[in-house]
Amino acid sequence: MKFRYRGRDSAGLPKTGVVEAADRGGALAALQQGGLVVTDLQAGTGIDLKMEIRFNLGARKVTAGDLGLFCDQLATLLGAGVPILQSLRVLAGQFQGKKLGLILPEIIASIESGDSLSQAMRQQREHLPATMIYITSVAEVSGRLDEAYALLARQFDEEEKLARKVRSAMTYPVAVLVIAVLVVGFMLAFVLPSYGNMYTEMGATMPTISRVLMGMGTFLRSQWYLLPPVAAGVWFGVRRLLRIEAVRERLGAFMGRLPLLGPLRAKRELSRFCRTLGTMNRSGVPLMAALLTAGDAMEDGAMKRAVSDIGQRLAEGDTFGEAMRAQPAFDRISVEMIALGEEAGTLETMLFKVAEVADKDVNLLLERLTALLEPLMTILVGGLVVMVIVPMILPMFDILGQVK
């Protein structure tokens, strides 16, 4: 019988694999004899393990929704006086089947071996946001972990709300486009060939565009099984391409020049920057360290460079407001609000206020984008259908000419 296991070797490094044994006790004994500290042992196959590993490595970060729920529940447990290790064990069972459910046992094992919570999280920095790790390290020193995780919960909840609104706005055009492609594919594969056979029997001359579309329809009907692997290959190829920093920067620069999409992206990045910086500042993280971490959280290359330049100007003696005024990547109203907050000694409050204003701007831009996409999608769908219908009608004119 095969058992899937997770644990740590004598050097403290995480290990995952499959072991064969007659029963669970035999598997556990075999692993312990090999010097492994087992943190999880489940009956299963090697295929299941590979699927679990792929799921674990499929996304770089845990979703903001899961992080928000985790931080909120952890803050509640810690506020009630439950020890951190016991709190994590309670929460680990609530995220089974999710990426966070695979990470928490590793964090628990690290703490059991003597690491602090922040050290254990730092070993999972590929999957956890730097903001969360840094705030944890500061809160451990101050002894305010429950307050820190309450702040993180609000931050991740706001990020998830914003992301959900963006996804919701994109659902309609994507759904319409998919339906249009399916309809056009059906017409190419089944409708157009029947017309083509009828025109051929009547002796009509088929225009080039009609012959091309009929060939596409014949391919769809005879080679349809090639479409899923080709689509999957394109999908994974694009995802791998977007992991290249230079490609992401070029794409970001292009999107930044587009109407509506450019301002939408800029406002969303501004909201993330201000909320991350405000959360870290309120948690007691020094401004310079908070800037470095907030810069890592940015997706836009220009905004990342702007945050880096702000850090350099702060090191040279500029105030935060002066450093931000030198950055064209940030809109002037937001910069002046932040500068006023710094002068009044309410920087973190003003950062959250700017984030709220940016969120409202994002909502307004999403409404405009949705209103614009509806007629555009109607025109696009109509154009796709016309591209198929017109080649179906063209041979009819040749037949009418022959009758005359």
pLDDT per residue of the chain (404 residues) written in tens, 0 to 9: 677 776 666 655 567 777 777 776 677 678 777 777 665 666 654 444 444 444 444 445 788 889 999 999 999 999 999 999 899 988 887 887 788 888 888 899 888 888 889 889 988 888 888 888 888 888 888 788 898 899 899 989 988 888 888 888 888 888 888 888 888 888 888 877 777 777 777 776 777 887 888 888 888 888 888 888 988 899 888 888 877 877 877 887 788 788 888 888 888 888 888 888 888 888 888 888 888 777 777 777 778 888 888 888 888 888 888 898 888 888 888 999 999 998 888 888 999 999 999 989 988 988 888 888 888 888 888 888 788 777 777 777 666 666 55
The residue extents of the domains of the chain are 2-57, 64-128, 158-236
3-state SS class at 44: coil
> CA angle at residue 216 from 214 to 218, to 5 degrees?
70
Residue in the structure block whose two tokens are 């995952």: 16
3-state SS class at 110: helix
Instruction: Pull the structure tokens for residue 110.
Output: 């690290």
pLDDT at 25: 67
> CA angle at residue 353 from 347 to 355, to 5 degrees?
105
pLDDT at 222: 82
pLDDT at 39: 59
Determine the Cα–Cα distance for residues 275 and 374; give it in Å rounded to an integer.
32
pLDDT at 77: 92
Determine the Cα–Cα distance for residues 144 and 142; give it in Å rounded to an integer.
6
pLDDT at 400: 64
Determine the Cα–Cα distance for residues 213 and 220; give it in Å rounded to an integer.
10
Residue 271's closest CA among 154, 162, 149? 162
pLDDT at 55: 42
**Overall size of the chain counted in residues:** 404
